[in-house]
Structure 1
Amino acid sequence: MITLQELKKLRLIHLCIAITFFTSGLSVNFLQLLLHICLKPFNKRLFRKLMYYLCYSLYSQLVFMADWYAGCKLRVYMDAEDEKKYAGKEHVLLMMNHKYEIDWLAGWMICEKVGVLGNCKAYAKKAIRYVPCMGWAWWLAEFVFLNRDFDKDKEIIAKQLKIVFSYPDPTWLLLNAEGTRFTPAKHEASVKFAQERGMTPLKHHLIPRTKGFTASLPTLRGICPAIYDINLAFKSDEKVPPTMLSLLNGKSVEPYMLMRRIPLEQVPEGEREAADWLQKLFVEKDRIIDSFHETGSFFEKSGVKEVPYKIHKPRLSSLLNFVGWAIYSLSFIFYYLISSLLTSNWTGLITALSVLGIFYWLMGVAINKTQISKASSYGAQSNKTSAH
């Protein structure tokens, strides 16, 4: 008899997940577009309230994959008073290391636990907004899309941050200050850059690009009260790699996350001073991650104050949301397949099978895009690093 773990490895199950995600994604995109056309011009507040639930409905399917399907346990270390008083109750700029294939998903997991998943946003490459389902969802949800041309991006940042933090409910905005995901080639270029300029080379991070951060500060002040510094790590001897493919096969991974609340007024006013502050923050972040890999603790060798951790239990809402979309998507697809077969509608049958093939292919493409080996070359050359 096949076990549940073996069942999760079957391509048929993976296909069902793909059908559910992409069918629901396109449905959410359509509803988002309707809100933009029919509601946003007349009532932006209600538009953003409803947009929260549409985004949550799409994003939480991936949280379901981690929480319920793979059974991941997220350990979050955060000052208990800060968590009780602030987490999920204020606008936040998130600063997170960008080293793992699923670091973004770990971020979504904590967003889901504190009730802000539908309002989590990010600075993202402009090209992403043209990607069906997720890219379209981000575009319609008013993410901060950048050209990687600072003169243009500075204006976009100032305009878009006012929009993002005018949402009626707490919004968390992610800035990956490293600019790109950590790879050995990019790290080598980053170390060379630091050595040439007398900066502290980082072991577990890339030297942060400060321009986007310092360009954001004038707009952030007064509308965003805090920065949450997130330090994410997986144990280096973990048998299951922290990848989407692992989760799709039902294999559990264990993210460890240290979150520190930093009031925005602690960041210096001047551009150069703020840039130096960010560089020092990343030196500290490097010590934190180094301590974790050497001792299993974020605190033992980092000099950072120790705080307790909490394992957040999965929320029923993500499970019910996925089950609802699965019933809707799969019943529609399989009804069409069976009716086409019974009525000898070969054109319809071939079309449906082709759509299923496209969904499965799209799932493969999406997983492939998350792989570190497939990361962009942005930042891999030392001469590009001069954009800091």
Structure 2
Amino acid sequence: MEVLRIVLNGVLCSITLWTHTTCVVAAQYLSLFIWPLSKDVYYKFHAQIMRFWSQNLFQTMDYFAPGELIITFDKSCINNKDKHCKNGQESALNSTNNTTETNEEDEVYQEELEKLLTRNNQGQVTGISFPEKLIMIANHQIYADWIYIWFIAYLSKAHGAIKIMLKHSLSLLPIWGRGMKFFEFIFLKRRLEQDKDNILGMLNSAKSRNRPMWLVLFPEGTVISDNTRLKSKNYATKLGMDDFKFTLLPRITGLLMCKETLKDSVEWLYDLTIAYPGIKPGENPEDVMTMKRIFCEGNGPHEIHIHVQRYRLADLPSDTEGFSNWLLERWTEKDKRMIYFNEHGKLPEEHDIGIGEDERLFNGNTVKIPIKLQNPLKECYGYLLYLVFYIPLYYIASYTIRYIYHLIAQ
């Protein structure tokens, strides 16, 4: 029976994703009629379609692989703590029982952090305020990482502004490859000399339109595997340092290039540390939590622990050596967090969340938010109304073909 359940889940999940994705691409093609009339409406249309597509993905995730985000905010994330924005880190990383903050400062911090949150009538957190434009970086544990980051964008109503980088081979997929190009995802051949012009062109184009944009990057370049772990160890040896235990050494050049390109239009860089329970030392996270296990077997992470830090781009080094040192320091911190998480089941800065009705309420600097749409019917199927426009297009095309046929026949 378990095998049958896994097979049925896999078939149903595949059909659901295939159907929604194909319909989304069909809706995207309607934008070809908008482009000659208004470029601004064209890009707004694709942002709306992206929102619908991601919402369908979240609904599929809720059904096949339900989970909750446990998000912990660093003090650098609040507006009146500029002194934290430069170093962007809390002393809790090295001493979880730090008590140097006064009660008054804690109260101010709580009040300012509360301003970032949106709650429903029950007091549960349903939204988080982020800037319209930002760069977001994170450690890369499993291929599903980007889905959870995208849901954070959903909480900020920015899930129609995501820019991600994908393998070039995905752009060659029939139908769906064209759809990803409509969304202006950036496709890479994994060689900077070949990708540089493409990256700069896409970023400068997006910047010139002055529209919301979340550029999401994984500086490690890929998930942990036996092969990438070996490369990370070799690189660490070259740098004269020990390799990390739960992360890979980050790549510098691509992120620095993006930062320098966007620094006059984007103010903030957000750094996420993502951790999943159930991964033992020495295990490759993607081997434990494959897409098959998440969607077909229902063995995905039920809790996704995320630590958020914020940095002002203007405060970050612009030279290669300085930026390299800064990024390595951030990844050293991440690895320490991951080691702590592996030993204690939570991140060092994370506050305990209550159990029961109040478990999703704000507690200290930590919130728990289910990966769930607020209005599933409206948010999942509203885009189907766009497909109605294909009805008159069908009749127009049919009439035109018949008319041309009669002309030729005569």
TM band (smaller chain) = 0.7 to 0.9
Q: Is residue 81 from structure 1 mapped to residue 128 from structure 2 by the alignment?
A: no
Aligned residue in 2 for 1:24: 20
Is the CA contact (8 Å cut-off) linking 1:231 and 1:285 kept in structure 2? Answer: yes
Q: Is residue 137 from structure 1 mapped to residue 187 from structure 2 by the alignment?
A: no
Aligned residue in 1 for 2:375: 317
What is the Cα deviation at residue 229 of structure 1?
Answer: 0.6
Aligned residue in 2 for 1:272: 321
Aligned residue in 1 for 2:195: 153
Bigger share in helix: 1
So what's the TM-score if we normalise by structure 2?
0.68
Q: Deviations over 1:155-202 (max 9, x none)?
A: 222221122345555321111111111113311221122113213421
Q: CA RMSD in A?
A: 3.3
Q: Is residue 39 from structure 1 mapped to residue 31 from structure 2 by the alignment?
A: no
So what's the TM-score if we normalise by structure 1?
0.72
- Mapped partners of 2:63, 2:16: distance in 1: 16
- Mapped partners of 1:151, 1:70: distance in 2: 39
Is the CA contact (8 Å cut-off) linking 2:6 and 2:296 kept in structure 1? Answer: no
Q: Is residue 244 from structure 1 mapped to residue 324 from structure 2 by the alignment?
A: no
Equivalenced residue count is 319
Post-superposition, which runs of at least 4 consecutive aligned residues in structure 1 deviate over 6 A? 323-326
Aligned residue in 2 for 1:258: 307
What is the Cα deviation at residue 141 of structure 1?
Answer: 0.8
- Mapped partners of 2:146, 2:131: distance in 1: 21
Aligned residue in 2 for 1:65: 60
What is the Cα deviation at residue 264 of structure 1?
Answer: 1.0
Q: Name the SS for the 1:212 alignment partner.
A: helix
User: Could you tell me which of 244, 267, 271 is aligned with 1:225?
Assistant: 267
Structure-2 change in CA distance of 1:290 and 1:27 (3 Å):
same
Is the CA contact (8 Å cut-off) linking 1:65 and 1:248 kept in structure 2? Answer: no
In our comparison, the structure showing a higher alpha carbon Rg is 2
Is the CA contact (8 Å cut-off) linking 1:190 and 1:207 kept in structure 2? Answer: yes
User: Could you tell me which of 246, 256, 264 is aligned with 1:214?
Assistant: 256
Structure 2: gaps (5+ residues): 80-112, 117-127, 281-287, 351-362, 388-410
Aligned residue in 2 for 1:123: 165
What is the Cα deviation at residue 16 of structure 1?
Answer: 3.9
Is the CA contact (8 Å cut-off) linking 2:165 and 2:187 kept in structure 1? Answer: yes
Is the CA contact (8 Å cut-off) linking 1:78 and 1:259 kept in structure 2? Answer: yes
Identity %: 25
What is the Cα deviation at residue 136 of structure 1?
Answer: 3.0
Q: Is residue 178 from structure 1 mapped to residue 220 from structure 2 by the alignment?
A: yes
Structure-2 change in CA distance of 1:46 and 1:307 (3 Å):
farther
Structure-2 change in CA distance of 1:81 and 1:117 (3 Å):
same
Aligned residue identity for 2:239:
R
- Mapped partners of 2:299, 2:377: distance in 1: 17
Q: Name the SS for the 2:78 alignment partner.
A: helix
Q: Name the SS for the 1:259 alignment partner.
A: strand
Aligned residue in 2 for 1:113: 155
